[in-house]
Structures are given as structure tokens and as C-alpha cells.
Structure 1
């Protein structure tokens, strides 16, 4: 009996020692240790980069694999055979793909992250704003703010925590930016005033930016993407296996989401539980939605294969989108994320050039592409007529 107990005791001691050693090696000695994510590529950069990962020649070659997209990106009128009005060098670079200055979410120290993954895009007055999250889950998510006219990177905005930031949208009436997030294991959207974005300087305080509204959403599993249209926010749920959904949330004249106040947050007007007033089922694997004139445009993408743009007749009361109902379907480069309409142009951001996907992507886009929607619609209508 004693011999048996001794063997069991020795086994327990050895197992405890091994497990303790593994725990210490993985999680550090009592605090977060920078060594736990040395698998991130190292960098000598001390500020967020604004230069491309790939040369202009490589980018042009990649885009030219999609002739219609290439022509529309260069604002070339492919219907009337007009010449291009911009050059590849005029297309804005997606910032932060090499390194981004942000916070370590574990110890709140300022660090450089080399695994930021682009997600959202929108236009806010004179700014081109994009969002990204750390694919390794170590650093705080961020927004990049660029000058819409010069493409210059103005600043990096550090957000609270590690939201996936799958979509962003700007309400020009209330002058605030909406961002997709997640809180209390529920879908959330939160807003940031444009004036706070303009005042924000991470180098001075080394803290995340403050939020204006925080809204927990009912009737939707996750806030995967978002767009603003006619005094409402349209929030979508990305589903890689089955149909997704889009919910509409109305905004009042002050830009606040209409909804029931949470009982636990009655004192804080910035925390609201909102109910969707309408819902639309969508195709699977939808990453973004945009509205333009009489049309709805959906972006579909998942994995290293090619993406798709679907265009439908716009119907805000439409109950379901089938691919068979689409007026047209366009093949796009892989890893297309959010799409956003502004002043007749469709802006698109891709995650294919992020560190996480560089080896597996069929093609890599490290620029923020915008296409001429009038030319796009004319092309769609021509194809529709030719198919009749």
C-alpha cells in the first residue's frame, strides 16, 4: 500500500511540476511577458507605417488581373472608352500593415504591433478612416485617419480593448463615427465624435479614445459590419456557413440610437439596448453592404479564394437576398472586407496583405480601392441587357 501511494505521489508531483513549468513559460512569472508573442514579426519601427507592403508594380499587376475592377478603380469610363484620370500612385495605401503603434491589452504598455488586420472603411468629412484588429489578440484595436485629398496618414486612434471592428460608418448629421464591437458577450456598436477624433493625440496620453455612445444590440448575434443610410444604421451579421442578416436601427434627430434603456444602465444614457425595427436575410459570407441610388451592393468573401460583389435592386423592405436575384455578380480579389459608398464612389478594404494572410492569399491588396459607381452601374445595366 505504501509503495503504491509513493508511486502515485511521485506521479502527481511530476505532473504538477510539468504543468507549472508549462504555465510559467506560456503566461510568464506573475505578469504579461512580451516573450509570449515573439511569433509576431519583429520591427524597428517606432511609429505606425504609412508606406506599402508591396511595390506599385506588384499592386498594378494584381489589380490588372481583374480588368473591370482595374478600369473602374482608375475612373476609366469603360463604356465610352475614356482614358484613366488617376494613376496607381494616387491610390491610398492601407496604413499599419508593417507596424502599428498601440497598447498591449494585457499590461496597457505602448508597443508596436505587426499583426494588424484591416476590416472597415468610411469617409468622414475630409478624412479617410479605416479600422484594424490584432489577429494575435494581444493589442488594442485601432483606427487609421488619413487625409482624403493627400492620402497622408494623420494619426492612429487606439480603441478600448480588442473589438473585431468589422465595420465603421459615419453619420454626417451628428458628426460621429460608428464602430462595430462586442461587449458582455453581445453585439455592440459604439460611436466617437469627430471633434474627439480631431483632438486625439495618443502620444500625449497613451490612452484609448473616449466614446460618445455605446449600444448593445438585440436580435443579432454579432455586429460584423455596418453602414449609415437615411437616418438609420444597418448592422450586419457575417455567417460563413449559412444565411446572414442585416438589421436596421433608427437614429433620432440628435444621432442617438432609438431603443430601450438597459435597466442596469438607467443612469448612463450612453448605454442603450436597441431593438432592430426591421431585418433582412442575406447571402452567406457577406462582409459589407452599401446603398447607391436604386441599388444595394453586397460584398461576399471568406478565405483565400476570390471575393464577389453582388448588385441588387434596392428594396429596404426586402426580406431575403438570393444570389439568383442579383442584377450582376463581379469577381474581386480575395479577402474583401467592408465596402462603403460616399459621393458616388464605392470604397473597399482588403485584409489579404495583413501578416496573417500574406502566405495564403491568392492575391494581395495593400491599398484602399474606390470604384466609380456610375460607371459600375452602367456596366451592370449593359450586362443585364446583353443577357436578356
Structure 2
């Protein structure tokens, strides 16, 4: 009996060795991760974000191709900007010993805005390890210039450029309250492009008393319009005069404590009910444009008249709805050009998304509205 058990054990061991050898011959030895492998991985990921892929994805939606490729075919990258470092962002991570270099592999883009020189996209680390960042791209060439490291890990759902004060305003969160902070454009220009040692310095920071969370922000006519994203009901938008935010607010380096936190809170001047699930807001002289998205469903842009100061921005008040790909985040107007940020290019969402857009896409707003109206008229006939 013992000889039989030994023989059986011997045969099983032999079979396992033969199987291991066969697998080694088929698949080869275990491979270590190399710089070449990382580069190849990035090439595979970013191959999904080529212009032909984008044109295909936009083609699923009425009017988007004429408003983008049809208007900006001769522009650099057809008027688009590849969002950098979605899978290999070099940043900082705060540890008990101080800030350490860290590579984030799952960045999720959120906000976007435009200055005279830059296209700027905000993003957070989906794994909640590294600090949130701003990616700075050259507006003319689309070249990625640098990443700006922010303090902490805010969701950074909204950013906006204030041309009157040459400031970039960013939505944040501090002391479990909605926060808004500002960075000078000169500070952004001077921030090191390689191996920064600490997050960028803020010029102003304030807490927002009258809003639960600062989900999005847009500068318009001397005011900062800040919105609260709500899944289960109507969202709301509130306006804050920039002069009030700047005057007497927390200057850089002032630490908030339980004693002075109330004096740093700012209450809005006006408040409007808005469509649910809002992600972005931008203005022309006579119109307001809200982006709405959540989950895998199609996104929408709601168009409202702003003459006469409307009391609410709810669906029944909209002049027009424009269907967009899923995962649309912030939108911003620069002249006649609407810039749109999508999060479907992020690793966290790319596998399940019908469209994978890893670029900031610009649309001619007149063409976009015209195409949407024609589509509505065709359906009505």
C-alpha cells in the first residue's frame, strides 16, 4: 500500500513538472515590468484617442462632427487637445515625512478652462493616493507644458479663468466645507515643469457658507457662478462677486482654525434652481450652457436665455437640449468656441464607455446649436 502511494505521488509530481515545462515553452519565462513595457502600454491606451477614433465616436451624435471637425479641420489636431498623463502622472504624495514623488496610474479629468495662452484641465487620482493636479497645455500647439500639483486631493470638478484679475479659480473642499481658491497665472508660469518639491501656492481661498459642495465654477460678468451637483434632485447655482471673494478673504499661508473659520465663510448673493446632475456651466452674452451627465447614459447640454435674469435653470425652461457622449464634464466658451472635457478616457471608466474620449474637444457653438435645432425640427415633422 505504501509503495502504491509513493508511486502515485511520483507520477503526480512528474505530471506537474511536465505541465510546468510545457507552459514555460508556450508562454516563456515570467517577464518583469520594464520601461519599454510601460511605454508600449501607454501607446495601446493612447491609440484609442487618435483623431480617427474621435471622429468615429462623435459621429454617433447628430451635429457633433460638423461642429468640430467640420469647423476646425485645418487647426492643430483639428482643434482638440490630448489630455496628458491619464495613466502615468508624475506628482507628489503627502506622507508623514513630507512630500514624496509618486506616479498615479488612474487619473480622472474633471474641469477645463481656457486662458489667452493655455488650455488647462484639472484631474484627481482615482486611487486617492496622490495630490490632484492641473495639466497645462499650450493653446496654440496643444503641447503639454507641465503639471501643477495642488494641495490635497480635492475632486477639482470645476476651474475657471478670471481675465479681470488674471486668476485661475478652482473648486475645492476644506474643513468639510465647500471651498474656492485662486492661483495667479504668473505663479503658474513660474511653477517648475520638472520635479516640483511642493504644491503650488494659492493667492486667495475662501469657504462657501451657502452651498453644500462646490462642484463647478464659471466666471461671468464680474461674478463666480458656482454649482452643486445633485444626483437625486434639482441642483442649484449660486453667484459670488469676485470683489467680495477677494476682499478680506483668507490670504495664502493663513491657516484656518475653529476660531476664524466662520469669518472666512462667504455667502452667495443670488441662488437659482438648476437641472440635476450638472457638471459644467458657461456663458455667452445672452445664453447659459449647462452640461449634464451621470453614469453610462448620454450626456446633455441645456441652453438657457440669460436676459432678464431667470429665476431658475430647470429643464422646462431650456431653449434647447443638445445630446452629447457619456461622461461629459466641464464645458467652457472662449469666443465662439466651446471646449468640452470628458472623463471617458480615464481607466476607471474607459472599459464600460461606448465612447472613449481622451481629448478636450472644441465645437463651434453656432454650428452646434444650428445642428441641434435642425434635428429637433426633423423630429417634429
Is the pair's TM-score, using the shorter chain for normalization, greater than 0.5?
yes
Q: CA deviation at 1:382?
A: 5.4
Distance 1:308 1:106 in 2: 40
- The 3-state SS of whatever aligns with 1:70 is helix
**1:91 aligns to what?**
80
Q: Does 1:339 align with 2:331?
A: yes
Structure 2 residue corresponding to 1:58, chosen from 53, 62, 65: 53
Gapped regions of structure 1 (runs ≥ 5): 1-41, 77-82
- Write the deviation string for residues 206-239 of structure 1: whole angstroms up to 9, x where unpaired: 2100000011001100000000001100000000
What is the deviation of 1:267? 12
Q: Could you say which residue in structure 1 is the equivalent of 2:224?
A: 233
Contact 1:305 1:361 in 2 (8 A): no
How many Å apart are 1:126 and its aligned residue? 0.6
Aligned Cα root-mean-square deviation (Å): 3.0
Rate the CA distance shift 1:103–1:183 in 2: closer, same or farther, 3 A: same
Alignment-derived partner of residue 284 in structure 1: 276
Secondary structure in 1 aligned to 2:353? coil
Partner SS for 1:105: strand
Q: Which residue of 1 aligns with 2:140?
A: 149
SS class of match (2:84): coil
TM-score, reference length from structure 2 = 0.80
**Which one of the candidate residues 55, 58, 67 is aligned to 1:72?**
67
Cα distance per residue 1:76-115 (max 9 Å; x no partner): 3xxxxxx954485552111111211111234521111111
In structure 2, relative to structure 1, the CA distance for the partners of 1:63 and 1:264 (3 Å cut) is closer
1:302 partnered with 2:294: yes
Shift of 1:327: 1.5
In the alignment of these two chains, the number of paired residues is 335
Aligned to 1:368: 360
The 5-angstrom pairing of residues 1-388 of structure 1 reads 44=38, 52-54=46-48, 55-76=50-71, 84-86=73-75, 90-106=79-95, 108-201=99-192, 203=194, 205-252=196-243, 256-257=245-246, 272-315=264-307, 317-379=309-371
- Secondary structure at 1:357 match in 2: helix
1:178-230 superposed Cα distances (whole Å, 9 cap, x missing partner): 00000000000100000000000153542100000011001100000000001
Deviation by residue 1:326-382 (Cα, 9 ceiling, x = unmatched): 121111111000011111111110001101111121211111011111223444565
In structure 1, C-alpha distance between the alignment counterparts of 2:156 and 2:119, rounded to whole Å? 16
- In structure 2, relative to structure 1, the CA distance for the partners of 1:161 and 1:43 (3 Å cut) is farther
Task: Confirm or deny: 8 A CA contact 1:349 1:368 kept in the other structure.
Answer: yes
When residues 385 and 198 of structure 1 are mapped into structure 2, their CA distance, relative to the original with a 3 A threshold, is same
Unaligned runs of 5+ in 2: 1-35
Output one character per residue of 1:144-180: Cα deviation in whole Å (capped at 9) or x when no partner.
0000000000111000100100010011111110000
By how many angstroms is 1:67 displaced?
Answer: 3.7
* Offset, 1:263: 12
Aligned mates of 2:322, 2:242 — CA distance in 1: 33
Seen in structure 2, the aligned counterparts of structure 1 residues 338 and 68 have a Cα distance that, compared at 3 Å, is: same
TM-score by length of 1: 0.79
| In structure 2, distance between residues paired with 1:339 and 1:215 | 24
Cα distance change of structure 1 residues 380 and 65 upon mapping to structure 2, 3 Å threshold: closer
The structure with the largest alpha-carbon Rg is 2
| 1:122–1:128 contact (8 Å) kept in structure 2 | yes
Residues 315 and 285 of structure 1, relative CA distance in 2, 3 Å threshold = farther
**3-state SS of the aligned residue for 1:361?**
coil
More helix by share: 2
Deviations 1:288-325 (A, max 9, x none): 11111311111000001110111111247322222122
The match for 2:20 is none
* Structure 1 pair 74–352 and aligned structure 2 pair: CA distance change class (3 A): same
Whole-angstrom CA distance in 2 between matches of 1:174 and 1:128:
18
